[in-house]
Amino acid sequence: MAAELVAPDSRRTGLTIAWIVAVVVVAVPLALNLRGHLWGSTRVDLSVHMTRILATAMAVLLAAALCRRLGGRVLLPVCLVVLYGAALTVTDWTTLAAGGAVGLAALSAGLAIMLTVPAPTFARAVVETLLAAVIATVGGLGVAGIDAGLRQGRFGAAVLFTTVLGAFVMVFRLGAGFHGLGRRGYVVAGGAAGLLLISIFYGWAFSRWGSQDLVDGVDTLRDHIRHYIYAVPHPIEAILGVPALCWGVFMRARRRQGWWVCAFGAAITAPSATRFVVSGVPIQSALVSIAYTLIIGFAIAWPVIRVDQALTGSRGRRARRVEEADALRPEPSRFAPLL
């Protein structure tokens, strides 16, 4: 009887380890191929066909993980991804490559959110947010491997919109539907959605209708900021993405509706999945920019979480510690099916 109980867990652990090893094996050559772009050193210089094969393998691994996490069937989505990757590699059709890049980026960003687990403390919430950003960034290596030659602005907006839409669909059941949000949840979700739409529309309108003087002024401001602090933080990621994901995993340890807040974490995972598409940015400046973004985001998330605890009755340090110790809402482990 003991062997029968241990066997499924051992098999799940073995599959998880095999999946992680496979992701690393695929990601390493993609990262080495980008080395010249990032560090200015000699690249591996894989052919476009080879990088797209590796990108397809990355998409297969991520799609399988997402299907398993959502409790769905793995075989059909994986076969569709393989067929799409084969068509992309053989035909070299630009539109197909663009669609594949957007799809893989959105898949990476969505999986990064789904692989988070509830965090009873703020420190654990920070770790979960960082882990989600890392997972999306690893998927972004495959996005760069497709080499679709897209404009960063439109591409980033398309990935962000697709990720948010997909996240809403995925968390609809996980978050107990719209009726479980409550009045405060509607206010939070509505405000976050409005901020996200404004940022997407502003970026699109700025690139389409912005005058040359306005564009030059913004570029000059960025240059001044970069001159004094070496890098420019990413506003939407710092103001919305990091706080939403950090607060969402913290809330999920207490209420199922925290999944709805996590959905807006796409504002940090989607840009992470498209990070390597941008060229001409020194790796040192990019790393500092990411660090600034995370610091600002966590600085916003901390008081938001404290206000949330105060509104639920956990006022005072001792009361918060007791509440955090009792925050044990059950949820499957990181690589176990959620449904």
User: Residue 52 pLDDT more than 50?
Assistant: yes
State percent of the chain over pLDDT 70: 75
Mean pLDDT lowest for which of 35-44, 162-171, 280-289, 321-330?
35-44
User: Residue 3 pLDDT more than 50?
Assistant: no
User: Residue 1 pLDDT more than 60?
Assistant: no
**pLDDT, tens digit (0-9, with 9 covering 90-100), for 208-248:** 665 566 556 666 766 667 767 777 788 889 998 999 999 99
DSSP 221-257: HHHHHHHHHSS---HHIIIIIHHHHHHHHHHHTT-TT
Tell me the three state secondary structure of residue 243.
Answer: helix
How far apart, in Å, are the Cα atoms of 14 and each of 20, 28, 134, 238?
Answer: 10, 21, 22, 37
pLDDT at 268: 94
**pLDDT, tens digit (0-9, with 9 covering 90-100), for 243-298:** 999 999 998 888 888 888 899 999 999 999 988 876 555 667 777 888 999 999 99
**Mean pLDDT across the chain, nearest whole number?**
81
Say how many domains are in the chain: 1
Within-domain flag for 290: yes
Domain hosting 164: range is 9-325
Within-domain flag for 288: yes
| Structural contact between residues 288 and 152, judged by C-beta atoms closer than 8 angstroms | no
pLDDT at 288: 84
Within-domain flag for 271: yes
pTM, entire model:
0.86
Within-domain flag for 52: yes
Show the tokens assigned to 3: 């062997």
Within-domain flag for 214: yes
Show the tokens assigned to 247: 């607060």
Within-domain flag for 331: no
Within-domain flag for 338: no
Within-domain flag for 3: no
User: Residue 114 pLDDT more than 70?
Assistant: yes
